[in-house]
Amino acid sequence: MLRCKGIENQPERGVFRILEEGEPASREHLEQVARVARVLLQENGLAGDFVVTSDGAIALELPEGKRTFFHNGIVFAALDAINDPIRNPTLTLLGEEDGKPQE
């Protein structure tokens, strides 16, 4: 199960620390979360882009003055989609690479 451990606000981006079973999440799972988050940004007409910065972290590339609480919610919605693919099948499929679920 993926969980957000914390959010660090930097001037040009927000960094989300993601854990998987108490350890920094793998790059593969973070890529899934970032892909789903990008789709949600687009669907909600929000600016920014999500990128994987390192194991255990994704960043919202958007200056601090342009970020809103909706952006944080996007990350949590993406985590829900990856954690519960039955409940969120469309978003989960968008987070899969080459149509194959990540393990």
Entry pTM: 0.84
- DSSP output for 67-81: --HHHHHHHHHHHHH
DSSP 8-class letter at 67: -
Rg for the chain, CA atoms, rounded: 13
Fold of the 2-92 domain: Alpha-Beta Plaits (3.30.70)
| Residue ranges per structural domain of the chain | 2-92
In terms of Cα–Cα distance, which of 57, 94, 99 is closest to 75?
A: 57
Tens of pLDDT, residue by residue over 56-102, are: 999 999 999 999 999 999 999 999 989 987 877 666 566 565 544 44
In terms of Cα–Cα distance, which of 45, 48, 52 is closest to 95?
A: 52
| Site of tokens 């194959």 | 100
